[in-house]
A and B are shown apart, each in its own frame.
Chain A
Amino acid sequence: MSAKLKTWKELPLGGVVPGGVARELNKTGSWRAERPVWHEDKCIQCLQCWLHCPDASIVIQGQKVTGVDYDHCKGCGVCAAVCPKDAIDMVPEREGTCAR
């Protein structure tokens, strides 16, 4: 939230904002204390992690998991908990590795 705040003259009518802009504005990855680490070799592509991620932060391409969106992942661990193959580990964030 370091963007310059707008004056009242610059605001949209009635506070109406264009859809989906939170993704750029709020990098909630900075909340994370633990990060999910996905192991492709163990993954069976069941997509359970994608389905249940509260932050839509399991990245998929062609309906296959390709990684984690660390800009937004809050580190809740639901993906690791729901994984049937232990293909996701939760590891403590080291200082300096948090997304901003």
Chain B
Amino acid sequence: MPSIKTLAKREEKEIRFTPGHTLCAGCAEPMVVRTVLNAIEDPVVVASPTGCLEVASSRFPGTAWNVPWIHVAFENAGAVISGVEAAYKALRKTGAIPRRIRFVVFAGDGGTYDIGLQALSGALERGHDFLYVCLNNEAYMNTGVQRSSATPACAAATTAPVGDAIPGKPQDRKDLTEIVAAHHVPYVAQAAVSHLIDLGNKVERAMKFDGPKFVNVLTTCPLGWRTPRDSALVQSKLAVETRYWPLYEVIEGKYKVNYKPKERVPVEEWLKTQGRFRHLFRDPRGKERIAEFQAAVDRHWEWLLRKEACLSGEEGGQA
């Protein structure tokens, strides 16, 4: 498993995502990108759909990508990487490409959960050899914090504002990690930007497999979540501690919850630190909504533990 020193050593040798990008001060995305790229030893080719990362890393004539990188459109990263990987396979057959190359997608939740879901699903089903990393910041941040299907219930977004009739997003988030797992690909995981060494380990484990690999990384956004710009890690850590964002893996169908918080930290602790949930603490019905939110988190956590118990790969399972 790559230690922090190993990651540092690799970046010293070859920095794959350079400074000079124009992501917001305090953005969590580059933390994830650097860690993932440092965790892979082989040469990589990266594709990104439209989004914060793409816009802020590739303003012509500049680019922060020091590895081959391609952007095509918003909804097609899964298809684009399929094409790149198919080209690699074809050219390997002719002997034109002597070295092993790995393929990585970095995409936001909009480009993954919503508009890019079909292309992702197709790429997963066809079994291309690539790692898809979802930088999940739970809304369309690049276009101004509109709601996505990754946005949690109650969160304020510019297309789900806190109005007198409808306070924030009425619907719960989509469970994309499970949707990907249902494609029965070799490696699926959830990770969080506050746990980068865990992320690095996951990437290293993932890259041992041929075929599609997927990591859904909670990638906090101080701008969209309305938190201080130095707080990305705080929000992420709380999301894990409150069990809102479980760290887990599905390796060849076997579930493993990587971290089980010893204490039950109420999700309210996470909600109350973010401007997008502020209304819950002002509205007279807020308490009720927070209780519903907690119930959903608990249900999901219990369900995940049950799944782990049934599908841990160990005889008899364990909770």
Binding site for B on A (CB under 8 A): 6, 15, 17-28, 31-32, 46-48, 50-57, 60-63, 69, 71-72, 74-78, 80-82
Contact = CB atoms under 8 A, between A and B. Distances in A.
Interface in B1-36: 4-5, 7-9, 11-12, 15, 17-31, 34-35
A15 B60 contact: yes
Given A20-B65, A22-B62, A63 B12 contact: yes
B230 A28 contact: no
B35 A51 contact: yes
Given A17-B62, A20-B63, A28 B20 contact: yes
Contacts, number: 123
B222 to A, nearest CB: 8
26 contacts: A17-B61, A20-B15, A21-B62, A22-B19, A22-B20, A22-B21, A23-B64, A25-B20, A26-B22, A26-B59, A27-B20, A28-B22, A31-B25, A51-B35, A54-B31, A55-B19, A56-B19, A56-B30, A56-B34, A63-B8, A76-B24, A76-B25, A76-B27, A76-B230, A78-B26, A78-B230
Interface in B228-281: 229-234
Nearest to B197: A51
B31 A77 contact: no
Given A19-B66, A19-B69, A81-B233, A74 B61 contact: no
Contacts of B233: 52, 78, 81-82
A interface SS class: loop
A72 B25 CA distance: 10
Interface of B: 4-5, 7-9, 11-12, 15, 17-31, 34-35, 57, 59-69, 196-197, 229-234
Nearest to A81: B230
Given A51-B7, A72-B20, A22 B15 contact: no
B197 to A, nearest CB: 8
A77 B231 CA distance: 9
Contacts of B18: 20, 22-23, 56
A72 B231 CA distance: 20
A51 B31 contact: yes
Nearest to A31: B25
For the complex of A and B, the 3 pairs showing the least CB-CB separation, nearest first, are A22-B20, A76-B26, A72-B19
Given A22-B21, A23-B20, A54-B28, A81 B66 contact: no
Among A22, A71, A80: residue with most chain B CB under 10 A? A22
A80 B25 contact: no
A35 B25 CA distance: 12
A28 B34 CA distance: 18
